[in-house]
């Protein structure tokens, strides 16, 4: 199963794709989609959408996972992040992907073991879980962490179903 992880952002949206076969994970690809701060908001969202659509077409993932938005002290920044997240969800829905959504603390706990992990710890664990990965940046590492979290949750759900039957 190919899983697409997404870390939404207006300036930089991270993406990462892994292959999950049982408990084994393999890195397929990762990157960051960037938009220029000086551009009109509508244009930035359109560019983000177009790049996501192309990336999804190129890799054909089976499932997607998106990090939830944390509010911050700047309402305008939170709103723009929410708009970028909406575009990310739209692109996944248009590709008919079932989308898992995960709070950042759940992702950190699943990958690092503690919900308070920092970016360096996430990057180190992603590199350990996906040997040989070359990270395109912190947002790509976060996206891979979201994909890893989704893979763990899917594996747990399958195991529970097998036990119940």
Q: Catalytic amino acids?
A: 7, 67, 139
DSSP 8: -
> Given CA atoms 132, 138, 142, 147 in this order, what sign does their dihedral have?
negative
36 in a known ligand binding site: no
Of 99, 102, 77, 81, which Cα lies nearest the Cα of 90?
99
CA distance 21 to 121: 25
- Number of Cα atoms under 13 Å in the Cβ half of residue 135: 22
Task: Tell how strand 24-34 and strand 63-67 pair up.
Answer: unpaired
C-beta separation of 8 from 21 below 8 A? no
Q: Render 68-93 in DSSP notation, one character per residue.
A: PPPP-S-HHHHHHHHHHHHHHHHHHH
| Residue 67 among known ligand-binding residues | yes
| Alpha carbons 140 and 146: distance in angstroms, whole number | 10
Residues that constitute the known binding site:
7, 67, 139
Residues that constitute the known binding site for Mg(2+):
7, 67, 139
């Amino acid at each position: 199963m190919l899983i697409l992880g997404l870390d939404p952002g207006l300036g930089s949206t991270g993406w990462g794709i892994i292959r999950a076969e049982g408990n084994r994970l393999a890195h397929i690809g990762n990157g960051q989609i960037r938009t220029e701060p000086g551009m009109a908001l509508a244009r930035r969202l359109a560019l983000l959408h177009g790049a996501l659509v192309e990336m999804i077409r190129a890799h054909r993932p089976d499932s997607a996972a998106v990090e939830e938005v944390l509010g911050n002290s700047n309402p305008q920044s939170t709103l723009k992040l929410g708009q970028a997240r909406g575009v990310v969800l739209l692109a996944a829905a248009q590709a008919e992907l079932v989308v898992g959504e995960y709070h950042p603390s759940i992702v950190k706990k699943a990958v690092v073991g503690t919900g308070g992990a920092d970016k360096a710890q996430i990057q180190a664990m992603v590199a350990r879980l996906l040997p040989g990965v070359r990270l395109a940046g912190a947002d790509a590492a976060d996206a891979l962490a979201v994909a890893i979290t989704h893979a763990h949750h899917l594996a747990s759900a399958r195991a529970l179903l097998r036990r119940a039957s």
